[in-house]
Chains A and B, each alone.
Chain A
Amino acid sequence: MNSLTATAVGKRYRARWAVRDCGFAIPEGKVVALVGPNGAGKSTLLRMAAGLSRPTTGELKVFGTPVQGRIHPDVAFLAQERPLYHDLTVRELVRLCAAMNDRWSTERVREVLGLQAGVDHNAKVGSLSGGGRTQVAIALALGRLPRLLLLDEPLADLDPLARDETLRIIMTEVADRGTTVVMSSHLLSDLHEVCDHILLIDEGRVQVDGDIQEVLARHRILVGPAAGESTVEGTLISATRTERQSTLLLREAEPAPRGWASTEPDLESLVMGYLRASRERRNSAQHK
């Protein structure tokens, strides 16, 4: 079964489309990297999946049920702004969440908070650092015992140790409960060890969607003489060129011609290639 599907989903704010004609299906149990530049529509998409914002067009479904203006009981969402009650202590906040959620495990929250070395349970939430608030918000999200965990920039304000702790907690959750995770991040180096599925969006549209190993295996980076570019066969995604040398990212490439070196891209160079291509398209559209 698919945990999250989008069919022709669009979201318009006044004249601007933040998300446009998005379609994808995420199988259950995947750990998805949601990547794209600032303003690509990542947060808008996650907020719609969490039921906090309604799509202008199309439909999102969670485990087959249409998302309709409220959070699905099987979903937990970590919003980018980490909205928490600042005047409560961590302990009081946990008690409040227990009262607000039908399905809830205080034990699980305590367990997660216990694994996060830096969090003082008696501290006021407002006095915690940005990273501390993120850790508390993640513990509360896991307290809902979700089958689908949506995380908007979960690692952005964490120090290296907290980042490692957090990834360990999330990956253990996946190992124990088979939870599907969708997490957005700018930091590709954080994602490539933990994610097995990529959803790359830019300008509100899906550019790449699939199992990371399979996606990488379908692409090649070819390096060779600039003069010989016409001998290369495949779908050109993006290129960087010097006077003598061309570096090409290709999809479904034919075997490289003589004089060209061919390697499989890593996740970072793949994503960079797609983002560079879409920026070039945008720039040339503006100049017309």
Chain B
Amino acid sequence: MLTDVIEFRIDRRSGVSTYVQIIQQVKQAMRLGLLNPGDRLPSAREVVEATAINPNTVLKAYRELERDGLAQGRRGLGTFVTKSLSSEATTGDDAPLRQELSGWMDRAQQSGLVVEDVDALYVAVRDEHYPAEERS
């Protein structure tokens, strides 16, 4: 018996379409190492029972993950993760980059920055290094 590793949270007020939310959540879980090659994604029916969204939307999101080469549908069995997006840099609490960022957050907090300041700084620096037009 295969058990599910993740469950989707659909934010109805976010303005982001449901199928994009599903894709983002799968990729996020893959980056964090919560989903690894061989893991089965929840079936459309399981997602529908949990969230009351349209099963066609779930299947559409999975088809897009398949097109990106991240997952593969196997007839009668479900959709399985085929690739790993996690790396030493993103997985685990002791990853060096994560620790550095955590240290930076500590200092931000100590100098009295509120969460909006932190977000604004993070986004500004991120966009300097990863210009919007170069991102896919």
Tell me the bound Cα distance from A29 to B49 in angstroms.
18
- A193→B55 contact, CB < 8 A: no
The one of B10, B12, B52, B60 that contacts A168, using a Cβ cutoff of 8 Å: B52
Q: Which residues of B contact A (CB under 8 A)?
A: 10, 12, 15, 17-19, 44-45, 48-49, 52-57, 60
B19 neighbours in A (Cβ, 8 Å): 213
- A171→B17 contact, CB < 8 A: no
**Chief secondary structure at chain B's binding surface:** helix
- B48→A193 contact, CB < 8 A: no
- A175→B57 contact, CB < 8 A: no
Tell me the bound Cα distance from A174 to B58 in angstroms.
12
- A193→B53 contact, CB < 8 A: yes
- B56→A172 contact, CB < 8 A: no
Interface of chain A residues 68 through 119 with chain B (CB within 8 A) = none
Other A-B contacts than A168-B48, A194-B52, 8 sampled, CB-CB below 8 A, are: A31-B54, A172-B45, A174-B54, A174-B56, A175-B44, A175-B45, A194-B53, A196-B60
The one of A176, A189, A194 that contacts B54, using a Cβ cutoff of 8 Å: A194
Closest approach, in angstroms, between the C-beta of B24 and any C-beta of chain A?
Answer: 16
B44 neighbours in A (Cβ, 8 Å): 175
- The residue on B at minimum CB distance from A166 is B52
Tell me the bound Cα distance from A59 to B56 in angstroms.
29
- A196→B49 contact, CB < 8 A: no
**Given that A168-B52, A171-B52, A175-B55 are contacting pairs, would A193 and B45 also be in contact in the complex, using a CB cutoff of 8 Å?**
no
Tell me the bound Cα distance from A82 to B22 in angstroms.
36
Select the residue from A30, A174, A193 with max chain B CB neighbours within 10 A. Answer: A193
Select the residue from B12, B15, B55 with max chain A CB neighbours within 10 A. Answer: B55
- A196→B52 contact, CB < 8 A: no
Tell me the bound Cα distance from A193 to B18 in angstroms.
7
Tell me the bound Cα distance from A193 to B55 in angstroms.
10
- The residue on A at minimum CB distance from B20 is A213
Interface flags for A168-195 (1: CB within 8 Å of B; 0: not) read 1001101110000000000001000111
A172 neighbours in B (Cβ, 8 Å): 45, 48-49
